[in-house]
Structure 1
Amino acid sequence: MSTAMRAKMRVTGIAVYPTVGQTTQEMLQFCPVGSGSYGPDGGDEDNTYAKFTPSGSISLTVANPALFGKFKLDDTFYVDFTAVQ
């Protein structure tokens, strides 16, 4: 049986390493959407995601040079979790 979940996450932090010289890694911090920025009727998509995933965090260290600088603060992504069979 497979388990699947989709989260809607916002980039809340980006740390570049090393801090001086050529970048070799970026640490990306993500949190679920819905930090009080719901639509006027509370029925927008962010509110729906926030209802079922009200808090959490994901931290990823990226060492792929092709991805450096591609993620920006407040960018929003769907993150899919699918069980490995």
Structure 2
Amino acid sequence: MSTTMRAKLQVSMVQEHMGWVDPATGQKPEKASETLHMHAVCKPTYADSEFDEDNTYARMSPGATLTIHIANPALWGKFKHGDKFYVDFTPAEH
């Protein structure tokens, strides 16, 4: 199967979620997950003469948001505000 679309997204926020505190034991909360908030790459304004890669993506997909909840501890801390990623959309088999 081939990719039908590629987007270029930028991390706008990484939100940490803490686990519940057990009042009986006084156990401190531990990190339970992260939520990534991403948006389509863009600049506040583009001149017609600006043809960098972000501009090309912004012209074809001027608006996009993606939120991903990550429960895998091996991935926590791997995504930082401002990081950019390609996201490929490939049809999944049924």
Whole-angstrom distance in 2 between the partners of 1:16 and 1:65? 12
The alignment's TM-score, normalised by the length of structure 1, stands at 0.86
Tell me the CA shift for residue 21 of structure 1: 2.6
- Name which one, 1 or 2, has greater alpha-carbon Rg: 2
Report what 2:16 is aligned to: 16
Whole-angstrom distance in 1 between the partners of 2:74 and 2:87? 20
Report what 1:56 is aligned to: 64
Contact 1:10 1:30 in 2 (8 A): yes
Identity fraction in percent:
42
Tell me the CA shift for residue 3 of structure 1: 6.2
Whole-angstrom distance in 2 between the partners of 1:80 and 1:3? 6
Secondary structure (helix, strand or coil) at the match of 1:50 reads helix
Q: What is the one-letter code of the residue matched to 1:44?
A: D
Gaps of 5+ in 2: 20-27
Tell me the CA shift for residue 24 of structure 1: 1.1
**Structure 1 residue corresponding to 2:55, chosen from 41, 47, 50:** 47
Aligned residues: 85
Bigger Cα displacement from structure 2, 3-12 vs 74-83 = 3-12
Q: What is the one-letter code of the residue matched to 2:69?
A: T
Q: What is the one-letter code of the residue matched to 1:27?
A: T
